[in-house]
Amino acid sequence: MHQDTRVIHIGEGQVPEADPLTTPIYETTTFRFASAAAVEDYYEGRASSFLYSRYRNPTVLAVEEKLAALDDAETARVFSSGMGAVSSTVMAHVGAGDEVVCAAAIYGGTLHFLQDVLARFGVSVRFAPLEELAEPDQVPGPATKLLWFESPINPTLRCVDIARVASACRRRGVISVVDSTFASPYNQQPLALGADLVMHSATKFLGGHSDVTAGVVAGRRDLVEPIDLTRRLLGTVLDPLPAAQLGRSVKTLGVRMARHNENARRVAEALEADPRVSRVYYPGLESHPDHRIAAAQMRGFGGMVSFDLGGDYQRACRFFDRVRLFQRATSLGGVESLCSLPVATSQRGYTAAQLERAGVTPGMVRLSIGLEDPADLMADLSQALA
């Protein structure tokens, strides 16, 4: 055959006589069949081979097995982003006439997806304040199909009693979903606490290096399989290359999270002892309103710390502009420490009443504590507070 033909076909798709230690990156969009009979076997479920990477890919499957293991779940799926996981999960399990109940203090993307997108398709959406979730038996109504909440919650790090909400949902036949992004599977196991599904933005601690955008949902097979079908049709699957990066990252989740927890605890304690800071929000501090809930359901208290500079936005801005080691950027969960101002980003555009309900003040600063030496982090915070 000619050069143009040979260069395309030679060297492709062969499985070499090699036994790799790690899963190779299968950068292929499609998979070959040996015969028409093999195609039939695939569609009739007689062979668990691969067809097309939007459906299933060996590299993606390998990281899904790791993610299922991390949450002690029957099965897990990865998505092109945390929002891909949110939208695919909700759309798989609710339809016109159903109601979704969502915690009022929630990630902005989740809020807008439910309120601005889902509500246009005949699904009613109700936002439940934290006080209602503290008495969860009254929360689900007759049409409630699914209840979505987070713990800990951005940026106050308020926590919800997961076991209590999950059991109230179970008694009413409502699917409970926990967005556990801020905790990561190292610090919190929502499925073991009785939740039906757990979701993470893997862009944060799971990816851990601020270089992969991804999401994950884990839980029982009967609840995850409809989400898989929705993922195929919405096209929210993760590509093999970022899946491999994510698989590499999660191997070090334990050592990273132990250090995030320890660094954040030290920063929170130092800030609490600093007279220039009016209030510190960290679930590991006894002064945090949900310390007891967090201590009962978390192994460690996570890498996020928020604090208040007397409710004064100008002071918060001056602090923000002065940090040197902390990077002025949104997002969280990476090796590098980040600093953001909630009223300028995640709670942007909130009215005074909405801010009060969310427990956010204009003087609030949010820190994502990375893996740098804690003495360097504390020195930077101290000089920026000066």
Answer yes or no whether residue 203 interacts with ligand PLP by CB under 6 A: yes
- Which position among 54, 56, 172, 232 bears the catalytic label? 54
**Which is nearer to ligand PLP, 59 or 213 (by Cβ)?**
213
> CA nearest 167: which of 141, 195, 140, 148?
195
Residue 175 pairs with which residues in a beta bridge?
Answer: 146
172: left (phi over 0), alpha (psi -120 to 50) or beta: alpha
Q: Rule CB under 6 A: say whether 213 interacts with ligand PLP.
A: yes
Minimum CB separation from ligand PLP for residue 109, in Å? 5
Other C-beta atoms lying within 10 Å of the C-beta of residue 98: 17
Based on the shown chain and the rule CB under 6 A, indicate whether residue 107 belongs to the binding site for ligand PLP.
yes
Q: Catalytic residue at 66?
A: no
Identity of the residue, 183 or 277, whose beta carbon is nearer to ligand PLP in the bound complex? 183
Which of these segments, 196-204, 219-227, 247-255, 276-284, binds ligand PLP (CB under 6 A)? 196-204
* Strand, helix or coil for residue 279: strand
CA 218/CA 225 separation, integer angstroms: 10
Chain mean position to CA 358 = 20
Contacts for 53 with CB less than 8 Å, ≥ 6 apart: 26, 28, 29, 30, 60, 237, 239, 240
Residue nearest to ligand PLP (CB): 82
Q: Which helix (H) or strand (E) holds 145?
A: strand 144-150
Report, in Å, the least distance between residue 366 CB and ligand PLP. 11
Minimum distance of ligand PLP from residue 159's CB (angstroms): 13
Pick one of 28, 41, 56, 109: the residue that binds ligand PLP (CB under 6 A): 109
Q: Is 201 in the site for ligand PLP (CB under 6 A)?
A: yes
4 in active site: no
Of 50 and 87, CB closest to ligand PLP: 87
Nearest residue to 372 (alpha-carbon basis) of 311, 331, 307, 327: 327
The binding site for ligand PLP (CB under 6 A) comprises 81-83, 107, 109, 150, 179, 181-182, 201, 203-204, 213, 215
**Positions marked active-site:** 54, 107, 179, 204
